[in-house]
A and B are shown apart, each in its own frame.
Chain A
Amino acid sequence: MTSRASAIVLFWAVLIVFFAWDWTHSSPVNHRKEPAILAIGSGQAPSGGHCSAF
């Protein structure tokens, strides 16, 4: 494998390890509170974090 390809593999390996760690260390997903697929027309205000937040 070229160094370039191994860099890509390393990059994604680190990402996947981070996601796996995060998944096991976060509170479980509560499917009872799953929002509607589309926010539009759902009647629920968005509650996600976004970049313009302060």
Chain B
Amino acid sequence: MQATFPPAASPAVSSIGASAPGRARWPLTVAIVLAVLALAWFVTVRQSVLFVIGLGMGGLLAGARFGFTTGWRRLIEARDASGVFAQIVLLAVAAGISIPLLASFPGDLAAALGPPSISLLIGAFVFGITMQIADGCGSGTLYKAGLGIPLNMGVLPLFALGSFLGSVHLHGWLSLGAVAPVSLVRDWGAGGALAATFAGLVACGLAAWVWSRKGGVAAPAPWNRKLLLAGIGLALLAVANLVVAGQPWGVVYGFGLWAAKVATAAGVFDPAANAFWGQAGNLRTLEQSVFLDVTSITNIGIMAGALWIAARRPSSGKPLTGRQWAAVLVAGFLLGYSSRLAFGCNVGAMVSGISTGSLHGWIWVALAFAGSLIGVRLRRRLGV
């Protein structure tokens, strides 16, 4: 059942109409250009550039419907490895450029180094489950919300709430057991890190290939040109993020920050008393505008870029029953919570972790994929 991929031109969306999106495009373009200029003038030039990078990411994600979640689900259910292959190519390109840059500019650039920990194991596994039910991971939730799909728009605030609470409880989770982050670039140099990363990616590719050929059913060809090109484009934008911000692409921190600000302003949260938000850097980020935060500005850019795509090609979403909505929203909350425990979502942990040589990215993928195996089944059972 093709409930996962929205049909290209469904009668359900003709009510939005072909003319309305065309009309919406130009004012939207103007608004986005003004936003870029306003960010450069009132905030900083760097944040304006990061917003543009986010626009590109959103455009590619939405334009190519590049869903990490969907890609994994297609492999699991339909033995279609095209999405996973595109993700592997993305990782290879991103790692191939990021790792040498990290080795050459150790002071200016930072890798996404999360600690291997109990919380990582649990968080990644739960993320893998819930991302299938909420039909979107970190980047997926963002671009689909930008496209205007109600399910994902509804998930977003719960994602933020979950991510915030995850950060509040993080200290407790870490005390269950954690070791220091492992940086392949620091330990093995650029050459060693690249070799290990490419070997791992080749292994993943082979595993996906074998899985797609299992069962003797004629599986779709694993090379999807649109997805591969989008994957390469996203990898280049991820590198641009690293080069401009000095840190890799991230999604989850921004959402936790937004919820933290609301909670602090409402008087229900005291950041100074919290192990995570009480750290000097986080306290400073809390009192500054979200436009100055790196992950927040790329998140906004992704949503705006996807919205721009939606203005030409609106997408449909299946209407959900009340029970299904409840399940999805709970999954969305857990998505946010687990991604904080796992030190990132598919973007922050998988893409950024693996492409900058962090061991935690690999652990994340293994556990998240295992979780997705269950998540896909749960999703079918819910009929989402």
How does the 8 Å CB contact mask read for A1-45 relative to B, with 1 for contact and 0 for none? 010110110011001001100110111010100111111111111
- The reply to whether A49 and B107 form a contact with Cβ atoms under 8 Å apart is no
Interface of A is mostly: loop
CA distance A35 to B47 in the complex (A): 10
CA distance A5 to B271 in the complex (A): 37
Q: Given known contacts A19-B290, A26-B287, A45-B107, is B44 in contact with A52 (CB within 8 Å)?
A: no
Q: Given known contacts A4-B150, A51-B253, is B49 in contact with A37 (CB within 8 Å)?
A: yes
- The reply to whether B281 and A47 form a contact with Cβ atoms under 8 Å apart is yes
Interface of B is mostly: helix
Which chain B residues lie closer than 8 Å to A8 at the CB level?
148, 153, 307, 310
- The reply to whether A49 and B285 form a contact with Cβ atoms under 8 Å apart is yes
B170 within 8 A of A: yes
- The reply to whether B109 and A23 form a contact with Cβ atoms under 8 Å apart is no
Across the two chains, which residue of chain B brings its CB closest to A48?
Answer: B294
- The reply to whether A53 and B253 form a contact with Cβ atoms under 8 Å apart is yes
Q: Given known contacts A25-B265, A40-B101, A41-B108, is B257 in contact with A49 (CB within 8 Å)?
A: yes
Q: How large is the interface on B (under 10, 10 to 19, 20 to 34, 35 or more residues)?
A: 35 or more
Across the interface, B258 reaches (CB within 8 A) one of A18, A23, A27, A39, namely: A18
Q: Which of B108, B114, B145, B294 has the most CB of A within 10 A?
A: B108
CA distance A5 to B247 in the complex (A): 36
Q: Given known contacts A48-B245, A51-B349, is B261 in contact with A35 (CB within 8 Å)?
A: no
- The reply to whether A37 and B45 form a contact with Cβ atoms under 8 Å apart is yes
- The reply to whether A11 and B293 form a contact with Cβ atoms under 8 Å apart is no
Smallest Cβ distance from B99 to chain A, in angstroms? 14
Told that A26-B288, A52-B360 touch, could you supply 12 new A-B pairs with CB distance under 8 A?
Answer: A2-B16, A4-B16, A11-B156, A15-B303, A34-B44, A44-B108, A46-B246, A50-B247, A51-B114, A52-B353, A54-B170, A54-B178
What 7 A-B pairs have minimum CB-CB distances, sorted nearest first? A39-B246, A51-B348, A46-B246, A52-B114, A51-B344, A48-B294, A8-B148
Interchain residue pairs with CB less than 8 A apart (29): A8-B148, A11-B153, A15-B303, A18-B258, A26-B288, A26-B289, A29-B43, A37-B45, A39-B108, A39-B109, A39-B247, A40-B101, A40-B108, A40-B244, A42-B108, A42-B246, A46-B108, A46-B109, A46-B110, A48-B247, A48-B295, A50-B250, A51-B250, A51-B251, A51-B347, A52-B181, A52-B348, A53-B282, A54-B170
